[in-house]
Structure 1
């Protein structure tokens, strides 16, 4: 009587996780909620995102800037002005290129469609993505998919990704770890590894994703509705630009850096002296992140995805206060665009150097107000059709960008 119900419950759970049953818990309403939820289970899962790809959504993939949901945020603008396709947000503070490479690799329905990817210069530090951050965001489900597909696609990319995951100290079990070791050496996984990962590990993870991936998600729909209600009924860029400036001024009265009051008072005010001239030696041209970014580009190329890349602005007033040389930004800008354009990724929206940078960022390094509006201006046309134009996906991938030589190259 004591153990019977427990045994029955465990048995029922095991049946749910491993039985070949298709659990359809992802409804259109759930997809709509997930599109702005920024829920980590959505990012690490596959079922919700792949369901969204069957509907009128185009992913915007990035990091913490996506949570700055003011009236000019793409989700607000898409709702207010009835864009044919709406943004599906994918990113959290701490996500960077390698996390998003695994994410894109798991989006099987992305093939032949469009995506937007926001690049943050501050990812490209000398040490690259912190190990703890990557471990936190690494999806076991996406990892099993990568392992099982490692006999396909580009061999150099598969070797690089497997080795990088191991170097960052990830361990998901002896069988998975040994499979990654084999892939990192250019070998195929064993038949036993494939059988176990496909029929036990991945099958269970897929069932968990199907069952729980859309339950009790973060809900930002109310926030988006409120933000959209502050916009005029008619889209007029010049008028919206004036409105963005007005709203930005009203929300950044506590400082001279055009930073939102909430962020300034919470994160900066008490530590301002420590930031003065603190970034004099910052550089964004020596980083393993360039190699991780190349792995991401391979994933897009394999999916024949037409991508709009967005280079985020950095608050110019903050740059001046912290003493960061503008060459740090311009050199990064030149290097990342060389990596993109030389391989056929030509759709780049560069917000790192605009004529009027006032109120382009909401804080020190994230888009807000006028920055969002500038991006929206480009997205509006891009979002009219979610299908990729095959002429824009003729990528020519170069494994040189996976090397240490490129990661530290300053001649480009």
Structure 2
């Protein structure tokens, strides 16, 4: 009997310690070659987002100034005027590290930021905040889990729940990630219970193993080809001498050719893939959408609290929606602008005054690439705001965090922002 059991489980019992030993002896990556950094900085996959070792290595490069660009699906709209393409073409003193894709909203970014807190400290960042994130549901469980990692969890738990934002984040974690690892510790943080010495030792051990594991995995991440296939060739085709006027003319010319099969000025390939044949069903389908009440406002406040904690100087970008498409689907523009004003009040009242508000540009020709994502001339407008911000010397911000924005009252508030006390 014993021999039979050993035959079945013996190799496994030997293999597990060997695997653990191998992982723990694998060096934690602290540097990244510029060649690989350029590729990984625009590789928009959940695996890249979750790998804290890789992100820290890229952002810690003292020779190349990689800047975190937080956002979602807009980063995949890599036309010739995308921030990564312009930075490459004109050898900007910074390069975007694109963070986020479809489904990544504020809660995803808050926990992702835990992996790069040192790299955010007294640095700069760009944060793309879409009003359409602020629907009634907020972050979904499926989307959140796709971007969440064990090192994000351990980094967060080691904070110990000393602030209101950390306690609220723990509560949200329990809501969107049922059956989460180390759930007992998350419950402790949510309820303001201190972690024991044994809890802390457990976290240290898990975090150490996870970081070595991430370092190992970072060498085998899939290459999505964005840099070689999109960024580099598009950058080479741009005029050698930088000129907004010349680029704007080129953007209009390129966009006119790529949006000529539909009445909405939407990119042909997007229209053919997602809209053509469904137009009748989509007419008026957004008429009941309302972004003024959402738990996303509380999640957004978690992000602001983290930026304030790290003294990160941030510029926030607020996009429009395609006006022609919004008219067709019935999206209420007055409601959209009230949402924008609520977001801006939450920002400005706490000292986040660097805001590029494009919410009223939805009918500007070739500003939008599709229904909700900017492109062509929209990217150029963004560049006019972001490039000067990133090329100026860092200035220590004076943020005034108000935990009132973590309340349900604020999430549901639709009145006069100035009267919200």
TM-score range, shorter chain: over 0.9
Are positions 1:114 and 2:124 aligned together?
yes
Residues in 1 aligned to 2:381 and 2:34: alpha-carbon distance in whole angstroms: 30
Number of the residue aligned with 1:172:
180
Deviation at 1:256, TM superposition (A): 0.7
Q: Which moved more, 1:16-25 or 1:286-295?
A: 16-25
In structure 2, list runs of 5 or more residues that go unmatched: 1-5
Q: Which moved more, 1:268-277 or 1:157-166?
A: 268-277
In structure 1, list runs of 5 or more residues that go unmatched: none
For residue 132 of structure 1, the aligned residue among 142, 151, 159 is: 142
Number of the residue aligned with 1:94:
103
For residue 17 of structure 1, the aligned residue among 20, 23, 36 is: 23
Deviation at 1:313, TM superposition (A): 1.8
Deviation at 1:17, TM superposition (A): 2.8
User: Superposition pairs for residues 15-54 of structure 1, below 5 Å?
Assistant: 15-19=21-25, 21-23=27-29, 26-54=32-60
Tell me if structure 2 keeps the 8 A contact 1:313–1:360: no
For residue 157 of structure 1, the aligned residue among 150, 158, 165 is: 165
Deviation at 1:20, TM superposition (A): 8.2
Tell me if structure 1 keeps the 8 A contact 2:120–2:312: yes
Tell me if structure 1 keeps the 8 A contact 2:29–2:53: no
TM-score (norm 2): 0.91
Tell me if structure 2 keeps the 8 A contact 1:252–1:260: yes
**C-alpha spacing 1:24/1:279, structure 2 compared with 1 (3 Å):** closer
User: Superposition pairs for residues 246-325 of structure 1, below 5 Å?
Assistant: 246-325=253-332
Residues in 1 aligned to 2:240 and 2:280: alpha-carbon distance in whole angstroms: 44
Number of the residue aligned with 1:80:
89
**C-alpha spacing 1:372/1:2, structure 2 compared with 1 (3 Å):** farther
Number of the residue aligned with 2:398:
394
Residues in 2 aligned to 1:356 and 1:83: alpha-carbon distance in whole angstroms: 30
In the comparison of the two structures, how many residue pairs are matched? 404
Residues 204-238 of structure 1 show CA distances to partners (whole Å, capped at 9, x for unaligned) of 21111111124233231121112212311111112
For residue 208 of structure 1, the aligned residue among 208, 213, 219 is: 213
| 1:366 match: secondary structure | coil
Tell me if structure 2 keeps the 8 A contact 1:140–1:172: no
Tell me if structure 2 keeps the 8 A contact 1:65–1:367: yes
Deviation at 1:362, TM superposition (A): 0.7
| 2:380 match: secondary structure | helix
Query: Using CA pairs below 8 Å that are at least 6 residues apart, which structure has the higher relative contact order?
Result: 1
Moved over 4 A (4+): 1-9
Deviation at 1:343, TM superposition (A): 0.3
**C-alpha spacing 1:52/1:24, structure 2 compared with 1 (3 Å):** closer
